[in-house]
Structure 1
Amino acid sequence: MTDKKFWLVTGAGRGMGIDIARAALDAGHGVVATGRDPDRVTAALGTHEDLLAVALDVTDPASVAAAVDAAVQRFGRIDVLVNNAGNFYAGFFEEITSEDFRAQIETNLFGPLNVTRAVLPVMRAQRSGLVVTFSSSAGITGGEFTSAYAASKFALEGWSESLTPEVAPYGIGTMLVEPGFFRTELLTEDSTRYPEPTIDDYAERTRQTVTAWRGMNGQQSGDPVKLARALVELTDSDEPPLRWAAGADAIAAFEQKAQQLLDQADAHRDLSSSLVHDGAPANA
């Protein structure tokens, strides 16, 4: 393996976060595993000389600052930040309350922003680091019943892409991870909030969709343990990818979206290309 690195992983009390923290430890790295309940983190991961379990609520900047301070005090540096914590407010847009939509954005977008804002000064000071942010194939292609979730993930995509050139001069890289469907706890009651049907036009579709999604829980094709190991391998490489499609279904989503964009660019190419101002230079 490469030199030992020190990781900070959010949402490490359950689901994918446990697998990521464990894979990093197995690879010989030090890990600050965070979650709202550090006892739950310890129960999931056990004890390890290179493990520090810390309380962290990604929506609370004070909690974030305390966790980052604890990480630096224990290990002296943070080499890899994994923004993994998140949840899922499902539903058709008209049936998702304004409060729930904002809560989705608060956790899935502002959560990673809060943590990254606190970690970047550490990485700039050491002139190295990697910010890994879990997006989703829903951050590449939107779909019905996921408007709030997709909005949060699309926002992460734009933020991370824009952050990349800002921090590159200081030896800091970024990686977006876009998983397809993995057998995690995302579709459990702890992570997903389903709406109660409130609009007759959507009622039957809502019931059918909720039933279908609940039926998918525990049946997803992706193996989160394999994803975690692959993630460690990529972070240890000389050039981690800026964007990683995790899973065959994620690759298919990438390819489909790329083709859709090309088709949409071509569909009205002549009209789009005719919009130059009459007074602009011919080669503008």
Structure 2
Amino acid sequence: MARTWFITGCSSGFGKAITKAALGVGDNVIATSRDASKLADLAQSGVYTVSLDVNSSQKDIDAVVADAVNKYGSIDILVNNAGYILEGGIEEVSDEEARDHFNTNVFGQLAVTRAVLPYMRAKKSGVIANMGSIAGWRGGINCGMYCSTKFALIGITEALKKEVEPLGITVVAIEPGYFRTDFLSGGHKVSPKNSIPDLEPVIKPFKDMFSMYDHQQPGDPTKGAQLIVEALTGTGRCAGKKLPARLAIGSDAIAMITEVLEDKKKELDEWKDLAVTTDIAA
């Protein structure tokens, strides 16, 4: 029996790749973008395309989700993929720019999740996949705000997973490394209006690195999307495997996360003897 997917941010990158991979296994897909006309090629392939701005009101998002449920009867898998990267130094980012970033990358995902969960709770099944990033493991120069949105998403994902697991619903954060999509270019990457000369010697090398790395990333989005579909459906290479709270994909993701864990363990051990001295005496 065909499953039904609801995927946000499908005009390019992983959103589009996951849509194609899910369609390829015979499932139904509701693909969304702020402008559904950008999904014309997917619509021609049999995908149900819908305009959805994840920054819309909860009422509007609820209506889009209700329409999707009326179309196919249920939503079995939600992929919260919509998002963008705000580069620049922390001090350079204005309050408005930071809030806009969190509205899309965090609060937008929350709003879509709130709209979908009642239907999953009613049938006591479903999978919610929040698209995180290896940026959720370590704050980086020039992408601190983006990293912070992914850190926030992990906290939400891990808590939600425990809350709804007894109801038959699975929640996972997908954490890709660098995949060869348009994410480092075009409208997916924006810079703050403010620039601080004092920070330029630190910021510019990383800004240049992003530009040079654009379309030179090691990950193949088609292969990544195929693994994601198998993981979220428990089929193929993932048959019999239980989804972790955080699913890393890409060899660079594995290498970087391993390094972070080793560094954090070393820091913890170095300060442990002092840290434990702060307890109230028995």
Determine which of 252, 265, 268 is the counterpart of 2:268. 265
Q: Tell me the TM-score normalised to structure 2 length.
A: 0.93
Cα distance 1:208–1:261, how it changes in 2: closer, same or farther (>3 A)? closer
Task: Please tell me whether residue 92 in structure 1 is matched to residue 95 in structure 2.
Answer: no
The answer for unaligned runs of 5 or more in structure 2 is 235-239
Secondary structure in structure 2 of the residue aligned to 1:130 = strand
Distance in 2, Cα, partners of 1:150 & 1:211:
18
Distance in 2, Cα, partners of 1:57 & 1:196:
23
1:274 counterpart residue number: 277
Letter in 1 for 2:13: G
Determine which of 183, 189, 194 is the counterpart of 2:186. 189
Determine which of 43, 53, 58 is the counterpart of 1:57. 53
Map of 1:138-153 to 2, 5 A cutoff?
138-153=135-150
Distance in 1, Cα, partners of 2:162 & 2:194:
44
The answer for unaligned runs of 5 or more in structure 1 is none
**Is 1:64–1:118's contact at 8 Å kept on the other side of the alignment?**
yes
Task: Please tell me whether residue 225 in structure 1 is matched to residue 222 in structure 2.
Answer: yes
Deviation at 1:44, TM superposition (A): 3.2
Distance in 2, Cα, partners of 1:197 & 1:80:
40
**Is 1:180–1:246's contact at 8 Å kept on the other side of the alignment?**
yes
Distance in 1, Cα, partners of 2:158 & 2:202:
35
Q: Tell me the TM-score normalised to structure 1 length.
A: 0.92
**Is 1:6–1:75's contact at 8 Å kept on the other side of the alignment?**
yes
Cα distance 1:208–1:141, how it changes in 2: closer, same or farther (>3 A)? closer
Which range is displaced more, 139-148 or 267-276? Answer: 267-276
Secondary structure in structure 1 of the residue aligned to 2:248 = strand
CA root-mean-square deviation: 1.5
Secondary structure in structure 1 of the residue aligned to 2:91 = helix
Which range is displaced more, 193-202 or 20-29? Answer: 193-202
Distance in 1, Cα, partners of 2:227 & 2:194:
40
Secondary structure in structure 2 of the residue aligned to 1:95 = coil
Distance in 2, Cα, partners of 1:277 & 1:212:
48
Task: Please tell me whether residue 78 in structure 1 is matched to residue 97 in structure 2.
Answer: no
Task: Please tell me whether residue 118 in structure 1 is matched to residue 115 in structure 2.
Answer: yes
Deviation at 1:204, TM superposition (A): 4.3
1:242 counterpart residue number: 245
Q: Deviation per CA, 1:30-68, whole angstroms, max 9, x where unpaired?
A: 100011111211x2314244x211111111123311220
Distance in 1, Cα, partners of 2:188 & 2:60:
21
**Is 1:83–1:133's contact at 8 Å kept on the other side of the alignment?**
yes
Deviation at 1:96, TM superposition (A): 1.2
Distance in 1, Cα, partners of 2:164 & 2:7:
20
Aligned length: 275
Identity percentage of aligned residues = 38
